[in-house]
Amino acid sequence: MKKSLLAVAAIGAFASAAQAQSSVTVYGILDVGYIGSNAREGSVSSAATGSQVNKIQKSAFGQSAEQTSRLGFKGTEDLGGGASAFFTIELGLTPANSELSGGTAEDRLQRTTNASGSAVDNRQSFVGLKKNGIGQFAFGRQYTPIFNEGAATSPGQYNNVVGDLVYNSGSVYNSSASTGNGTNNNIGFTNRASNAFTAQSDSFAGFKIGGMYAVNNQNQTELAPAGTTAAAAGGNTNWGGWGLNGNFTWHKLYVGVAYQSFKTAYSTGVSPSVSNGGGSIVNLGSVTAQSGQGIANVALFPAAQISDKQTFVGATYDFGILKAYAQWVGRKVQNDYVTLATSANTSASTTGEQLNRNAQQIGVRSYITPTIESWASVGTGKVKYSNLNQSANFFGYQLGSNYYLSKRTNLYAIYGQTQTSSSAVTGNTGAGANQYALGVRHTF
């Protein structure tokens, strides 16, 4: 009997120790309220139609204006000796819609459709190891280096209202947008990377460094186009990227820099002109092995090699009564391989489709009272499409305020506006939008 009691006590002690060494936390954000917007989409004028301007006005009881709604699970396990294992699983939520996280809901009689993506919106999912005094690494879908440095220096704290020119994401005001939750990659930089490995050091004399490497490559044998005698050829569908970041903290000053580069390469390896009896088929690529055949002079699914290079610099300084912010972001996207069918039997490759965008903004954030917080930001930028010889300047600003009812619940009001100048295209009227939101945010 004594041995049994000792065994039970020992098992209980081990169970208690194991439970004490690990922890799991459930967390989330629910952000809902009223969102309204007015937008003006510019268009090119012509002699036949004259100048056309598309004006859009929207209003809705929406979601995620101040912060994207989400549900997350994170945990750590103490491995001993200053080492630990950790994980995070975070799902995007759309509390104002019938689909809570992704999916599609439709009422055919009312002719309404909300299609926000996959059945589950995977914001983050990763697992990693950490060693105190050295740093950590993780594998999975994760934030990019620029996203993390931008979050530390954003005056609007990555809200989803128009006016933030660096984190330009999630605002729903244009004619083609229906619903949005701010979880997609924005035009300023790439937010998240799948199939990614990240590493981050601990702080040494105020310095931290980190990096990311993402890869998803596939080499395969491509069959010849149907009806031809061409031999099989090798092909690939490759995507990958890497990034570096560093930051320095000195008293009330914080400075962060980051660079990341992504590349997509797609090629079947099949000749662009394949003999087919008396005629020929222009075949520059395919989604599947035996598809992608073209009609004369038409290239279906052409090979592509797209590079996307992104740079970021940001800083903050805490003056006590307010905190000042400054950010700059640059992005260059180029398709390095564009194939043109010049005749039924020949093709030519050239470089084209280049986008250059840069933006800069400054801002301040301050507690006016212990329960009222406000912020403001203003910025400018320029976008250029090199292959089309088009360019445009843009300007934006944002004002916002929080009223904290408690540590976890606050009311907010946000207003933002952007304006794009006329581009190099003759007759372009420019475009602009303003957006405003009143809502409540609860964190748990």
pLDDT reported for residue 208: 97
Residue 93 has pLDDT above 60, yes or no: yes
In CATH, the number for domain 22-443 is 2.40.160.10
pLDDT band at 206 (very low <50, low <70, confident <90, very high): very high
Q: Which of 329, 318, 374, 375 is nearest to 356 (CA)?
A: 329
pLDDT reported for residue 20: 46
Helix (H) or strand (E) holding 396: strand 390-404
pLDDT reported for residue 345: 40
> How would you classify the pairing of strands 409-420 and 112-117?
unpaired
pLDDT reported for residue 1: 42
DSSP letter (8 states) at residue 387: G
Residues 6+ apart with CB under 8 A from 291: none
Q: Which of 75, 76, 95 is nearest to 84 (CA)?
A: 76
Region 75-83 average pLDDT: 96
pLDDT band at 51 (very low <50, low <70, confident <90, very high): low
Higher pLDDT: 124 or 346? It is: 124
pLDDT reported for residue 334: 85
Tell me the C-alpha distance between 255 and 68, whole Å: 25
Higher pLDDT: 300 or 23? It is: 23
Residue 303 has pLDDT above 80, yes or no: no
DSSP-based three-state secondary structure for 10: helix
Please answer whether residues 439 and 179 qualify as being in contact, where contact means their C-beta atoms are separated by less than 8 angstroms: no
Tell me the C-alpha distance between 378 and 397, whole Å: 4
Higher pLDDT: 326 or 173? It is: 326
Output the average pLDDT for the chain: 78
DSSP letter (8 states) at residue 321: S
Report phi then psi at 294, rounded to 5: -105, 165
Tell me the C-alpha distance between 335 and 303, whole Å: 10
Express as a percent the part of the chain with pLDDT over 70: 66
Q: How many other β-carbons are positioned within 10 Å of the β-carbon of residue 352?
A: 14
- Supply 410's token pair: 């606050």
pLDDT reported for residue 269: 52
Residue 324 has pLDDT above 70, yes or no: yes
DSSP-based three-state secondary structure for 40: strand
Please, where are the H alpha helices in 22-124? none
Q: What is the pLDDT of residues 271-294, one digit of tens each?
A: 444 444 444 443 433 333 333 333
pTM of the model: 0.82
pLDDT reported for residue 430: 61
Please answer whether residues 299 and 272 qualify as being in contact, where contact means their C-beta atoms are separated by less than 8 angstroms: yes
Residue 226 has, within 13 A of its CA and on its CB side, a CA count of 8
Please answer whether residues 411 and 403 qualify as being in contact, where contact means their C-beta atoms are separated by less than 8 angstroms: yes
> E strands within 251-303?
253-267, 273-276, 279-282
